[in-house]
Amino acid sequence: MNKLYIGNLSSTVTAADIHELFGERKLSIGQVLLKSGYAFVDCPDENAAIKVIETLSGKVELHGKVIEVDYSVPKKQSVSPVRILVSSGVLCAVCQVFVEFILVEIECELMSIPKCE
């Protein structure tokens, strides 16, 4: 993983400021994606990423704020429940089709569908 998260950035920090900060310390980075209060940077390899974290995280101030640097972690995606209406057939036969792929919860509301035994 070579993408790093840089947090606790002042709202006045620019991508040029980040490139300058890294350049002054001879740290290699590629693209900088700047957001409000944080940024993402690409490192050329794992060793460069480790060096950046060890050199900067919690140790360097940029525009009056001590920055935090760590590996970028993708957001967890929320999962919405899916409802499947079974109008006829055997309920367990339907569940067997889907159980390999998802967690199946069965809600029984006035079901007249035969259940497996």
Count of alpha carbons within 13 angstroms of residue 74, beta-carbon side: 5
Closest-CA residue to 35 (of 76, 72, 61, 1)? 72
Helix (H) or strand (E) holding 21: helix 15-24
Q: Could you read off the pLDDT of 28-59 as tens digits, one per residue?
A: 999 999 999 999 999 999 999 999 999 999 99
pTM assigned to the model = 0.63
Q: Phi-psi region for residue 27, left (φ > 0), alpha (ψ -120 to 50) or beta?
A: beta
User: CA–CA separation, 59 vs 56, rounded Å?
Assistant: 5
* Backbone torsions φ then ψ of 64, nearest 5 degrees: 85, 5
Question: Which domains are present in the chain?
Answer: 3-71 (3.30.70.330), 82-117 (no CATH)
Q: Could you read off the pLDDT of 74-83 as tens digits, one per residue?
A: 877 766 766 6
